Amino acid sequence: MIDPFTAIAAATSAYKGIKKAVEVGKEISSFTGAVSQFARAASDIDFLEQKAKKPPLYKMFTDNQSHALEIWTQKQKLKEMREELKEYISFVYGPSAWREIVAIEAQQRKEQKELVYKKQEFVDSIINGAVITVLLIVGLGGAAIVLYFYGKQQGKW
């Protein structure tokens, strides 16, 4: 399960690595791993934000509001880091370098969706199915018990 604190920790680590590489004057190709890590973390936070807006059934009774606030806070931190990186990289390497990074980010989002998010959504679907099944069995069992006692009281059983 992806959580906002792990995602922002990964983004912060990547941010510091990218910033340090730019300060030293390394070529962009030498810090693509950090760019990929930053992009994955950004994608994770976006995914978490979408999940907070439309939580699975089994999380309907949890404190979604505080979770959504945590995600929003992390998203704001990520936005600030992203803006600073954009300015920094565009200044040092030019605007075309930032476009390359945005392209890497888009690729990472696509890969994350295919590898991680579909799996998480599948697990959520299975848990939702199990919760619905249990609620249905309990409901039908309760109705059967009520009908049994009602019939017994009427003398039909």
Domains contained in the chain, number = 1
Residue-level pLDDT at 64:
66
| 83-103: pLDDT as tens digits | 998 888 888 888 888 888 888
Q: Answer yes or no: is 95 within a domain.
A: yes
**Element (DSSP H or E) covering residue 65:** helix 64-93
Confirm whether 14 is domain-assigned: yes
What pLDDT, on a 0 to 100 scale, did the predictor assign at position 3?
A: 76
pLDDT for the residue 156: 75
Would you say residue 63 lies in a domain? yes
Whether 154 is covered by a domain: the verdict is: no
CA–CA gap between residue 18 and residue 15 (Å, rounded): 5
- Within-domain flag for 135: no
Inside any domain, residue 120? no
- Given this model, what pLDDT does residue 60 score? 67
Residue 143 lies in a domain: no
Q: Could you tell me if 60 and 131 are in contact, meaning their C-beta atoms sit under 8 angstroms apart?
A: no
**Residue 65 phi, psi dihedral angles, 5° rounding:** -65, -45
Domain that holds residue 98: 4-112
Q: Supply the pLDDT for residue 145.
A: 94
Predicted pLDDT at 139: 95
What's the pLDDT score for residue 83?
A: 92
**Considering the domain boundaries, does residue 147 fall inside one?**
no
pTM: 0.69
Q: Are 19 and 32 in contact (CB under 8 A)?
A: no
Positions of the chain with pLDDT under 50: none
